[in-house]
Amino acid sequence: MKAIQITDQGKTRVVETPKPELIPGHVLLKTGYVGFCGSDLNTFRGLNPLVKLPVVPGHEIGARIEEVAHDVPPFFKPGLNATVNPYSSCGHCPACENGRPNACEFNQTLGVQRNGAMAEYILVPWEKVMADPAISVRDFALVEPMSVGFHAVNRAQVTDIDTVMVIGCGMIGMGAIARAALRGAKVIAVDVDNKKLRLAKRLGAQYTIHSVDENLHERAQEITRQRGADVIIEAVGRPETYIASISEVAYTGRVVYIGYAKERIPFDTQYFVKKEVNIKGSRNATPADFKAVMEYMKKGGLPVEELITAVHPPEEAQTALEKWSAHPSEVFRILIRF
């Protein structure tokens, strides 16, 4: 079968690999669409320390069930559209024992610590498959990144009396915006791209701030009547956005970090104490987050066409990653179609 590998910094290739053979407790999926995410781009750029090359990337999956093992629950039938929870969990580390396997100490995400889904077929344990005939194979490829944003909103315990500022309007930030709006919160979207800010409004943001053209602090103070945002969700992973999150959060507010900062950050820690801020990390997503995204998508409120920047065959993966690397702010999601 055909698969994509990232073989070295800035290099990909299409290879032929054996088709997986069905084993007990597993489901064989025929891949339809797989999204490139930020971790795949960092792998391509040589900036992902978790990856050992060569690796098959991809964990944002839209597929169709091809075969099921004899011991798989009867709900999973050939022909059913599906996606995959791409994270692993050991079951014994503190995170797993505390009922939060999405943050497993020994997690291995598809396409990062182990080979991913950018192949014509993938074999996965049935417990990791999430299927629904009402969602298309293509649209299923958007569920995982949206679910990461949904999970951050859960971590922040957002309610309808909160003002929530989401910094970064990529796919994950859009998920956070949509989920916070669904919970009735007042949402402020922050980004450096006007197109993304316009789309953020369609997903429920009531206010937008272009953080280059506008003064972030002054505008945020104006919107919040000098109080600051009750919740900040950081979905960029830059030192300046990490620091801004502490600056713009209200006293006794909550800050949730999704983005991975690649550099050390010099915080003025007095504000951690003065504001008595709750600071949380948010990692991956839970099955409940996946299900919430799926229900949201079935209601038809997600402008899927605008979130998909481009669709390419496997042979164009190199070109797609080169373009994304050169113009990162212009991309929501690139899908590879098998």
One domain for residues 19 and 38: yes
In this predicted structure, the answer to whether residue 149 has a pLDDT above a threshold of 90 is yes
One domain, residues 127 and 232: no
Q: What is the mean pLDDT of residues 282-301?
A: 96
- Residue 292 domain flag: no
Asked whether residue 11 is domain-assigned, the answer is yes
In this model, does residue 50 exceed pLDDT 90? Answer: no
The per-residue DSSP string of 78-145 comes to TT-EEEE------SSSHHHHTT-GGG-TT---BTTTB--S-BSEEEEEGGGEEE-TTS-HHHHTTHHH
The answer to whether position 60 is within a domain reads yes
Mean pLDDT along residues 196-204: 96
277 and 154, same domain (yes or no): yes
The C-alpha atoms of residue 106 and residue 203 are separated, in whole angstroms, by: 34
Span of 96-100, 190-194, 249-253, 300-304 with lowest mean pLDDT:
300-304
Residues 134 and 22 both lie in one domain: yes
Domain range for residue 247? 149-281
pLDDT score of 49 more than 90 = no
Mean pLDDT value of segment 196-225: 97
User: How many distinct structural domains can be found in the chain?
Assistant: 2
Same domain, 169 and 258: yes
Report H helices in the chain.
38-45, 94-97, 137-140, 143-156, 171-182, 194-202, 216-223, 239-248, 270-274, 287-298, 304-307, 317-326
pLDDT score of 216 more than 90: yes
Task: Judge contact between 171 and 142, C-beta under 8 A.
Answer: yes
How long a stretch of residues is the chain? 338
User: Residue 308: is its pLDDT beyond 90?
Assistant: yes
Q: Does 183 lie in the same domain as 112? A: no
Q: Is the pLDDT of residue 301 over 90?
A: no
Q: Is the pLDDT of residue 261 over 90?
A: no
pLDDT tens, position by position, 155-188: 999 999 999 999 999 999 999 999 999 999 999 9
User: Would you state the pLDDT for residue 330?
Assistant: 82
CATH of the domain at 20: 3.90.180.10
- Name which of 23-32, 117-126, 274-283, 322-331 the model is least confident about: 322-331
Residues 128 and 157 in one domain: no
What per-residue confidence (pLDDT) applies to 329? 80
pLDDT tens digit sequence for 78-90 = 999 999 999 999 9
118's tokens: 């950018």
Q: Quick check: 251 pLDDT over 90?
A: yes
**124 and 23 together in one domain:** yes
Name the token pair of 65: 């069930």
Can you give the pLDDT at residue 5?
98
Residue 204: pLDDT over 90: yes
49 and 171 within one domain? no
Please report, for the domain that includes residue 244, its CATH number. 3.40.50.720
Residues 62 and 169 in one domain: no
288: in domain: no
Confidence of residue 290 (pLDDT cuts 50, 70, 90): very high
pTM, 2 dp: 0.96
Residue 238: Cβ within 10 Å count: 16
Helices 317-326 and 38-45 sit at what angle, rounded to 10 degrees? 90
Same-domain pairing of 116 and 16:
yes
The per-residue pLDDT of the chain, averaged, comes to 97
Domain co-membership, 245 together with 154: yes
Query: Is 294 part of any domain?
Result: no
| 114 located within any domain | yes
Does the pLDDT value for residue 315 go beyond 90?
Answer: yes
In the prediction, which pLDDT does 246 show? 98
